[in-house]
């Protein structure tokens, strides 16, 4: 397998053979297993590990060195709750070796899911240098720049000659998270410049770092939100970004692979919020767990729905006199809900991409409302004609049509403004989920509809 060229294209669904690997492992063909497994890409190794049962995972820990396991643990993605049990199946010294051989940032990500007690015992078993670095990183909040950075970067004195710098890079290459972006510091370890390995390679041999570095360094503060960091790195097309404290001391770097995860997380968060689910990506949950996760929301919505029902109940007289009014409840509440969700989506997206400034966000919200009014008018005109043709009731048609226009205008206003206002008040905009907006719009649109209908009751009879 190893001697011939093998180009793997995207169409090859299974780039590894799980059955073969399992067999080799269970039938004790350790050498063959190792050869087969270690020629796989670390991502494939991690996929194989994720797909394997405990028995296989146990065997893997028996036949691979901590370093070999660390290589693919860097890409491991299992449920957060599973880590404690997984690390219980390794003996403590092996586990601590695995963690110290991983990238610090990834080791920290995993350790954040372990119990305090476990963390302490693992740190004690690590070599002192690694333990110190990991301990420091464990202190940062998970969703800040500090929480996703690693300390395995290459930094050089700004006064170093290029020739010496290249030697340095070569030496540090095996351990650094990236060697393609190099940071220049002064004697106080303050960040003063940045250069790419490309700059270094094409530089004249007698130049110094400070001659070729860029002094306009875009950096993140260690406490910055990971979302802001992701946005900046995407804007600037960075493959690595330095993280500093308030005195510009270089503390670590964030690399593009971590940013991909952040972008994914954030997109998934916005998306889940719009749908009113807590986590759209939890595909392994059981029926009960899925139901339990959604229930709090659905129960709140049931109570909110009861408000709508109570309002409608208070119009029982109106309804019993003109029962046909009920027929248009779904269309009015539905259209108001739909246009509200559309505007909500635009607003939330504008907040989270941060691409436009505060003032423009409100301008967009106003534009949404205007567009809600315009579309409302058009849909209302269509509805009016249909009602006249089907039921020959022009007054009913006018009431339904005006209600629809007002409900859609208010719907878009609610949908676009609520997240903006919440964001401004620093309230978690998670409350402004799609179903919540829809239910609010139900209440508002029913009040409008039956308010109008009751006022013009005499014309309807």
Which residues from 191-220 bind a copy of itself, rule CB under 8 A? 191-193, 197-198, 201-202, 215-220
Q: Which of 65, 91, 302, 455 binds a copy of itself (CB under 8 A)?
A: 302
Q: Which of 8, 19, 425, 461 binds a copy of itself (CB under 8 A)?
A: 8
Which residues from 48-67 bind a copy of itself, rule CB under 8 A? none
The stretch near a copy of itself (CB under 8 A) out of 18-26, 60-68, 120-128, 292-300 is 292-300
165 binds a copy of itself (CB under 8 A): no
425 binds a copy of itself (CB under 8 A): no
Residue among 6 and 211 whose Cβ is closer to a copy of itself: 6
Q: Which of 435, 444, 453, 454 binds a copy of itself (CB under 8 A)?
A: 435
Binding-site string for a copy of itself from residue 402 to residue 421, where x marks contact by CB under 8 A and - marks none: --------------------
φ and ψ at residue 102, rounded to 5 degrees = -80, 170
326 binds a copy of itself (CB under 8 A): yes
Which residues from 231-250 bind a copy of itself, rule CB under 8 A? 232, 234-237, 239, 244, 248
- For 253-289, give one letter per residue: b (16+ CB within 10 A) or e: bbbbbbbeebbeebeebbebbbebbbeeeeeeeeeee
327 binds a copy of itself (CB under 8 A): yes
Report the DSSP beta bridge partners of residue 255: 240
Contacts of 180 (CB under 8 A, 6+ apart): 196, 197, 198, 239, 240
Q: Which of 337, 397, 411, 419 binds a copy of itself (CB under 8 A)?
A: 337
Size of residue set near a copy of itself by CB under 8 A: 134
Instruction: Pick left, alpha or beta for residue 248 (phi over 0 → left; psi -120 to 50 → alpha; otherwise beta).
Output: left
264 binds a copy of itself (CB under 8 A): yes
Shortest distance (Å) from residue 209 CB to a copy of itself? 13
β-strands 181-185, 250-255: how paired?
Answer: unpaired
> Which of 39, 49, 33, 28 is CA-nearest to residue 1?
39
Shortest distance (Å) from residue 65 CB to a copy of itself? 20
Contacts of 57 (CB under 8 A, 6+ apart): 49, 86, 89
Check if the beta carbon of residue 222 is closer than 8 Å to that of residue 251: yes
Q: Which of 58, 65, 91, 310 binds a copy of itself (CB under 8 A)?
A: 310
Q: Which of 71, 150, 375, 409 binds a copy of itself (CB under 8 A)?
A: 375
Q: Which of 114, 148, 156, 325 binds a copy of itself (CB under 8 A)?
A: 325
127 binds a copy of itself (CB under 8 A): no
179 binds a copy of itself (CB under 8 A): yes
Q: Which of 69, 156, 328, 414 binds a copy of itself (CB under 8 A)?
A: 328
Residue among 129 and 204 whose Cβ is closer to a copy of itself: 204
For residue 452, give the H/E element and its range.
Answer: helix 434-455
40 binds a copy of itself (CB under 8 A): yes
How many CA atoms, within 13 angstroms, populate the side-chain half-sphere of residue 297? Answer: 22
Structure tokens at 456: 């013009």
388 binds a copy of itself (CB under 8 A): no
φ and ψ at residue 397, rounded to 5 degrees = -60, -45
391 binds a copy of itself (CB under 8 A): yes
Check if the beta carbon of residue 197 is closer than 8 Å to that of residue 181: yes
CA distances from 460 to 385, 394, 406, 435, 450 (A): 17, 9, 20, 33, 13
DSSP state of 328: G
Q: Which of 61, 180, 362, 456 binds a copy of itself (CB under 8 A)?
A: 180
76 binds a copy of itself (CB under 8 A): no
Which residues from 345-364 bind a copy of itself, rule CB under 8 A? 345-346, 349-350, 353, 355-356, 360, 364
268 binds a copy of itself (CB under 8 A): yes
Give the Cα separation of 158 and 166 in Å (integer).
13
The stretch near a copy of itself (CB under 8 A) out of 21-29, 91-99, 306-314, 420-428 is 306-314
Q: Which of 82, 120, 281, 459 binds a copy of itself (CB under 8 A)?
A: 281
> Which of 40, 30, 28, 29 is CA-nearest to residue 2?
40
Residue among 131 and 447 whose Cβ is closer to a copy of itself: 447
Residue 297 burial (C-beta neighbours within 10 Å; 0-12, 13-18, 19+): middle
For residue 212, give the H/E element and its range.
Answer: helix 209-212
Give the Cα separation of 300 and 146 in Å (integer).
36
Residue among 131 and 207 whose Cβ is closer to a copy of itself: 207
Shortest distance (Å) from residue 88 CB to a copy of itself? 27
């Amino acid at each position: 397998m190893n001697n011939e060229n093998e180009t793997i294209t995207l169409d090859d669904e299974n780039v590894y053979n799980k059955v073969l690997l399992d067999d080799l492992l269970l039938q004790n063909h350790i050498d063959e297993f190792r050869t087969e497994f270690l020629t796989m890409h670390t991502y494939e190794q991690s996929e194989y590990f994720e797909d394997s049962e405990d028995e296989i995972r146990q065997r893997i820990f028996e036949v691979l060195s901590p370093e070999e396991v660390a290589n693919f643990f860097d890409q491991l993605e299992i449920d957060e709750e599973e880590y404690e049990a997984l690390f219980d199946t390794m003996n403590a010294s092996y586990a601590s070796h695995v963690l110290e051989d991983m990238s610090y940032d990834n080791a920290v990500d995993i350790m954040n899911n372990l119990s305090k007690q476990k963390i302490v015992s693992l740190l004690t078993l690590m070599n002192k240098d690694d333990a110190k670095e990991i301990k420091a990183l464990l202190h940062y909040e998970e969703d800040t720049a500090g929480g996703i950075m690693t300390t395995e970067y290459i930094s050089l004195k700004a006064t170093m000659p290029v020739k010496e710098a290249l030697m340095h890079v070569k030496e540090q290459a095996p351990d650094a998270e990236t060697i393609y972006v190099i940071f220049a510091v002064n004697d106080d370890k303050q960040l003063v410049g940045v250069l790419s390995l490309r700059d270094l390679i094409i530089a004249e041999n007698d130049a110094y770092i400070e001659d070729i570095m860029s002094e306009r360094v875009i950096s993140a503060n260690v406490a910055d939100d990971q979302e802001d960091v992701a946005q900046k790195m995407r804007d600037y097309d960075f493959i690595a970004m330095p993280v500093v404290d308030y005195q510009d001391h270089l503390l670590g770097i964030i690399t593009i692979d971590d940013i991909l995860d952040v972008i994914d997380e954030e997109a998934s968060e916005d998306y889940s919020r719009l749908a009113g689910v807590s986590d759209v990506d939890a595909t392994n949950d059981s029926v009960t767990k899925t139901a339990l996760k959604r229930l709090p929301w659905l129960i709140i919505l049931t109570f909110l729905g009861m408000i709508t029902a109570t309002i409608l109940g208070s119009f029982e007289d109106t309804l019993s006199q003109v029962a046909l009014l009920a027929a248009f409840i779904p269309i009015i509440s539905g259209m108001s809900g739909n246009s509200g969700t559309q505007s909500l989506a635009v607003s939330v997206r504008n907040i989270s991409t941060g691409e436009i400034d505060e003032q423009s966000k409100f301008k967009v919200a106003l534009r949404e409302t205007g567009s809600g009014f315009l579309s409302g008018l058009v849909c209302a005109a269509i509805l009016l004609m249909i009602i006249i043709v089907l039921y020959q009731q022009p007054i009913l048609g006018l009431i339904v049509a005006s209600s629809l226009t007002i409900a859609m205008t208010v719907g878009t206003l609610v949908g676009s403004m609520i997240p903006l206002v919440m964001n401004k008040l620093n309230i978690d905009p998670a409350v402004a989920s799609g179903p919540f907006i829809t239910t609010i719009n139900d209440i508002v649109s029913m009040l409008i509809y039956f308010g109008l209908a009751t006022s013009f009751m005499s014309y309807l009879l």
